[in-house]
Amino acid sequence: MAKEPKIVDKQVGLRIRARRLLLDLSQEALGAALGITFQQVQKYEKGVNRVGASRLAQLAEVLKVPVGWFFASEGAIHPPSDGQENVIDQFISTTQGIALIRAFVQVKDVSTRRAIVKLVERIAGQAD
């Protein structure tokens, strides 16, 4: 029976994937920069394989983030402890999440940004 990945390993994996996508790197390109296979990158991103300290430092250098960034959750240094992955990390580790973020930050008008947020909230059923 396969062991279930630990929450912190899943969170670190989601952050690796999110940053990789934000930098527009393929798993193959990240693997090449690290000297590992893309399959190993996949395992890190899924949290199946734990990332060791030296590899985490190497990932931070390649992905241009501080090591602590991999553990940050809503401004904290500790991962969520309630057994659920961070919804934001899950979202930004998708190609749709990255595309939406990139497009949204291009909108410079503050009132237009507010209107977009209200529209999305309405669509999601969260608006009054």
Domain of 36? 7-93
* 31 lies in some domain: yes
- pTM for this entry: 0.71
* 87 lies in some domain: yes
Domain count of the fold of the chain? 1
* 69 lies in some domain: yes
* 126 lies in some domain: no
* 17 lies in some domain: yes
pLDDT in 10s for each residue of the chain, 128 residues: 667 888 889 989 999 999 999 899 999 999 999 999 999 999 999 999 999 999 999 999 999 999 999 987 544 444 455 544 567 778 888 889 989 999 999 999 999 999 999 999 999 886 55
What gap in Å lies between CA 98 and CA 95, rounded to an integer? 5
Cα–Cα separations (whole angstroms), residue 4 to 7, 48, 78, 105, 127: 9, 8, 20, 36, 37
* 123 lies in some domain: no
* 111 lies in some domain: no
Helix (H) / strand (E) element for 38: namely helix 38-46
| CATH number of the domain within which 82 lies | 1.10.260.40
What gap in Å lies between CA 102 and CA 104, rounded to an integer? 6
* 72 lies in some domain: yes
